[in-house]
Amino acid sequence: MSGPVLPSSGRIEAGRHVLPLRVYYEDTDAAGIVYYANWLRFLERGRTEMLRFLGQEHSALRAEKGVNWIVRRCAIDYLKPARLDDAIEIVTGCKELRGASLDVVQEAYRDTDLLVRADVTVACISETGRPVRLPQQIRQALQAVAGPYSPRSRHIRI
C-alpha cells in the first residue's frame, strides 16, 4: 500500500454535488428503514463534502476567516424509504446566494428513485454568533453547483 486511503468527497455532476453513501444498521429503525432524523445527518454530510470538494473545508474557514455555518431553516419531504445496505446518493445544489446565507436544495436517491427532498437555508456567523457575509472565495467556489433554480426572492442569484 502506498499511503492512506482517503474517503471520497463525491463528484460534481450536471452542476450539482453528488455524495455516494451506504445505509448501515445504525442508520435504521426497528422496521429496518432509515430513521427520519438520520436523513439530516446524511444531508449535512452532503453539504460538508460539497464544500470540501470545492476546496472550502469547514475547519479552514473557521480558522482562517472566523466563519461558522449554521442551519437556519430546513424543510424536508420524505418520499420513499431507504433500507439497510442500500446505496444512496445525496445530491446538493446551490439555489440562491444572499449576503450572509444561501439556500441549498438537496435530494437523496437510490438509483433513479427520489427518496428525500430538502430545502435548507445555511447562514454564516462569526465566533460571537453575529451574521457575517459569505467570503468571496465561497461565492466563487459555489458557482460550480449553482443550479437553474428559481429564487424565492429578488436577491442575488448565482
CA separation for the pair 60, 133 (Å, rounded): 16
Amino acid at 58: H
CA dihedral defined by 58, 42, 107, 19, rounded to 10 degrees? 70
CA separation for the pair 15, 58 (Å, rounded): 21
User: Measuring CA to CA, how many Å separate 153 from each of 96, 106, 115, 150, 157?
Assistant: 9, 19, 27, 9, 9
Side-chain-side CA neighbours of residue 147 (13 Å): 18
Catalytic residue flag (residue 85): no
Q: Which of 27, 29, 86, 111 is catalytic?
A: 29
Selection from 65, 76, 14 nearest residue 42 by Cα:
76
**Using an 8 Å Cβ cutoff, are 45 and 19 in contact?**
yes
Catalytic residues: 29
